[in-house]
Amino acid sequence: MNKDKRVQSKPAQKEPIKRNKFRKYVPSILLFLLFEIVAVTLWLVKKNLFYLLNFSYIGGCLGLGTALFTAGKRYARHFIQLAVGSYMLLYLGVISHENMQIEGFWYYLFLGVFEAATIHYAVAKIFGPLFFGRGWCGYACWTVMVLDFLPYKQPQNPRKEKLCFLRYVMFILSLALVSGLMLIKIANLEQIMFWLFIVGNVLYYILGIGLAFVLKDNRAFCKYLCPVTVFLKPMSYFSFLRVHCDESKCIHCDKCLRVCPMNVEVNKESRKRKNGTECILCYECTKDCPTKALH
């Protein structure tokens, strides 16, 4: 009789394991569905098939990439960055002449047009961060798809708080540049916006790579210079997706602080943790925590 019981209990145990395995992938599925809702809504509202294809592609890459990441594939984040980043940089920017940089956002905003860069900013950088925080910075940005291959994944020096004001300087400069060009009613502004996109990106790569080597920190450009963080930081404070810390399990080994590329004080649970709005959801900290306090 005992033997019978043992034989019967095996399939019953397998079910919860299968369910747990599936549950791990729910955020990836939700992310894909979120992008599908945006894709279908914009396709129907704007009557333009491009939006369906564009957001389905990006959502598909993000869903697949985050699922690979959850499955423990180390290349997953690079895969998403390259798939989404190069599509936006090369196809949308260089081939289709859409300026998706912050200058393009100002340009479309002042024209009162809700397309291309204004939609991109609304989804990825202004309202999206309420759900997925700075997921854009961890998985899709075409600037760091290059910077993340540099040798300083973990910052080798303490954060330079005094340099953070530079992001506001960059933000104001981009706003002043586009509003100035529009006020003087310069001819061929569309063409100029395209060249601003090319020059702006080359400049960002030069500054990003230079700063990474000087400060020994791949993400130095993100921390000090990137103007987009002026939008990203306040919105991601309220992010639904975030790394939680069960402080009762923390043994203060500081491993998480050492591996974090963004200097987040992740061994605190509070949203007010130091540099909390810098988190790019890379989950390097959760992999290294010896007590599984981070999840």
What's the closest the beta carbon of residue 292 comes to ligand SF4, in angstroms? 8
* The one segment of 13-21, 138-146, 156-164, 180-188 that binds ligand SF4 by CB under 6 A: 138-146
Q: Which residues pair with 294 in a beta bridge?
A: 245
Cβ–Cβ under 8 Å, residues 39 and 52: yes
Does 124 participate in binding ligand SF4 (rule CB under 6 A)?
no
Q: How far apart are CA 233 and CA 223, in angstroms?
A: 11
- In whole angstroms, the minimum distance from the beta carbon of 142 to ligand SF4 comes to 8
By C-beta, is 173 or 251 nearer to ligand SF4? Answer: 251
> Is 141 a residue that touches ligand SF4 (CB under 6 A)?
yes
Closer Cβ to ligand SF4, 25 or 171, answer by number: 171
3-state secondary structure of 142: coil
Nearer CB in complex with ligand SF4: 178/266: 266
CB 63 within 8 A of CB 29: yes
Q: Is 26 in the site for ligand SF4 (CB under 6 A)?
A: no
- Minimum Å gap between C-beta 40 and ligand SF4 is 26
**69 or 221: CB nearest ligand SF4:** 221
Question: Which region among 17-25, 94-102, 171-179, 278-286 touches ligand SF4 (by CB under 6 A)?
Answer: 278-286
Which residues, other chains included, contact 42 with Cβ-Cβ below 8 Å and sequence gap of 6+?
48, 51, 52, 55, 119
How far apart CA 138 and CA 155 sit, in angstroms, is: 16
To 10 degrees, what angle do helices 189-215 and 102-111 make?
150
Q: Quick one: 89 or 193, whose CB is closer to ligand SF4? A: 89
Among 81, 99, 267, 277, binds ligand SF4 (CB under 6 A): 267
Structure tokens at 57: 């592609």
Element (H, E) at 257: helix 255-259
Scanning 30-38, 76-84, 106-114, 223-231 for contacts with ligand SF4 by CB under 6 A, the matching segment is 223-231
Strand partners, 245: 294
- Can you tell me the distance from the alpha carbon of 168 to that of 160, in angstroms, rounded to the nearest whole number? 15
> Which of the ranges 9-17, 23-31, 155-163, 248-256 carries the binding residues for ligand SF4, by CB under 6 A?
248-256
Instruction: Evaluate whether 100 touches 85 at the Cβ level (below 8 Å).
Output: no
Contact footprint for ligand SF4 (CB under 6 A) = 137, 141, 143-144, 221-222, 226, 228-229, 243, 245, 250-256, 259-262, 264, 266-267, 279-285, 288-291, 293-294
